[in-house]
Amino acid sequence: MCWRQRQDMIIKPSRRWAFPDLGELWEHRELLYFFAWRDIKVRYKQTVLGAAWAVIQPLLTMVVFSIFFGNFAKIPSEGLPYSIFSYTALVPWTYFANSVSQASGSIVAQRGIITKVYFPRVIVPLASMISGLLDFGIAFVVLVAMMLYYHIFPSFNILFVPLLLIFCVATVLAVGLWLTALNVIYRDIQYAVPFLVQFWLFATPVAYPSSMVPARWRPVLGLNPMTGVVEGFRWSLLGSGEGLGPTFVVSVAIVGLLLVTGLLYFRHMERMFADVV
């Protein structure tokens, strides 16, 4: 019989604060893949419209925004058609909103697994963030189609899109980890998240440009990291806004802080998930 290489495992109460073990996470990468794949598969099996939902949600929001904010309220859109102006922001926003909502309830939803098998718990919220990327991709294709329709050709700034996407995922991760861990301990979170997301949408320049805010106050907007994400996407694809300026730097700093503390907090709480979930 051929065994794998010997592995020794030590089990003891862990130190109070630590980062998730990246090596261990890498070892469980297939499980992460299986979880994400399951999320996608189940979602598409259970829904009639399947992948269409990835587009319907941002698209309908765009239509509503265009009618009320663009047409009636005449909110400026930096010289761009209001529809594409809002849709460009709605694509990363929808990804953020859905992934954060999904992730925050994920550990509690997977109670049955958490109490019966060991694996790095961070895989569970991570999987819902990864499965959300597929929807992001589909919505993004529609965005490209819209850009072609409106004859908007991006500058070389488009090369920043992958970086911005990584930044967007990092934002989702930072916020998601905090809410997931908090939700295991405090079940109030599951009721707070939908409200939080709604509130957050209006605090983020999705329906309006951040240029509506006086220039010297803009870095304050950056305290909301989604401002950086959304304005970043508009800047790199549509060429609007101030680009990766001070607002963006503030957003990056905030995400960095939230991510580091989120990882620490999640790892800290992870130890008791199986006991309290």
Partner 1 sequence: MNSDICIRVENLGKLYRIGEREPYKTLRDTLARPFQRAFSRRSRHSDSRDQYIWALKGVTFNVSEGEVVGIIGMNGAGKSTLLKILSRITEPTEGNAEIHGRVGSLLEVGTGFHSELTGRENAYLSGALLGMKKREIDRKFDEIVSFAELSKFIDTPIKYYSSGMQVRLGFAVAASLETEVLLVDEVLAVGDVAFQKKCMSKMWDVAKEGRTVLFVSHNMGAVSRLCERCVLLDHGRVSSIGETAGVMSTYLNAAYPVRARREFASDPSKPMQIRSVTLLDHQGEASTHLNLVHPIRVTIQVDVRQRISGTHLALSLEKPDGTAICHSTDLDSQPGKVVTWEPGSYVATAEFPGALLNAGTYTIRVGIGLSRGATVQTIDSQTGMSFQLYDPGTFGAMNVDGYQREGLLLLQVPWKIQRTDSCFSKE
Task: Name the site residues for partner 1 (rule: CB under 8 A).
Answer: 1, 3-4, 6-14, 30-31, 34, 38, 41-42, 45-46, 112-119, 184-189, 271-272, 274-277
Q: Which is closer to partner 1, CB of 152 or CB of 196?
A: 196
Q: Are 173 and 104 in contact (CB under 8 A)?
A: no
CB closer to partner 1 out of 53 and 157? 53
| Comparison of 264 and 274: residue with beta carbon closer to partner 1 | 274
CB closer to partner 1, 8 vs 216: 8
Smallest separation (angstroms) from partner 1 to the CB of 203: 21
The CB-of-200 to partner 1 minimum distance in angstroms stands at 19
For the chain, how many residues are written? 277
The answer to whether 69 touches 86, Cβ cutoff 8 Å, is yes
Q: Tell me how far, at minimum, the Cβ of 15 lies from partner 1, in Å.
A: 11
Q: Which of residues 16 and 151 has its CB atom nearest to partner 1 in the complex?
A: 16
**HSE on the CB side for 161, CA within 13 Å?**
19
> What is the C-alpha to C-alpha distance for residues 166 and 140, in angstroms, rounded to an integer?
15
Is the Cβ of residue 72 or residue 118 nearer to partner 1 in the bound state? 118
Question: Could you tell me the CA-to-CA distances from 166 to 54, 60, 103, 192 in Å, in that order?
Answer: 19, 26, 17, 26
Q: Residue 212 or 272: which CB sits closer to partner 1?
A: 272
The count of other CB atoms within 10 Å of the CB of residue 176 is: 27
Minimum CB separation of residue 35 from partner 1 in Å reads 8
Collapse the DSSP code of 47 into the 3-class scheme (helix H, G, I; strand E, B; otherwise coil) and give the result: coil
Closest CA to 90 of 192, 251, 226: 226
Measured N-to-C along each axis, helices 246-276 and 161-185 cross at an angle, to the nearest 10 degrees, of 40
Q: Quickly count: other Cβ atoms within 10 Å of residue 230's Cβ.
A: 28
Gyration radius from the chain CA atoms: 20
CB of 41 to partner 1, least distance (A): 7
Torsion angle in degrees (nearest 10) through CA of 33, 87, 217, 97 = -40
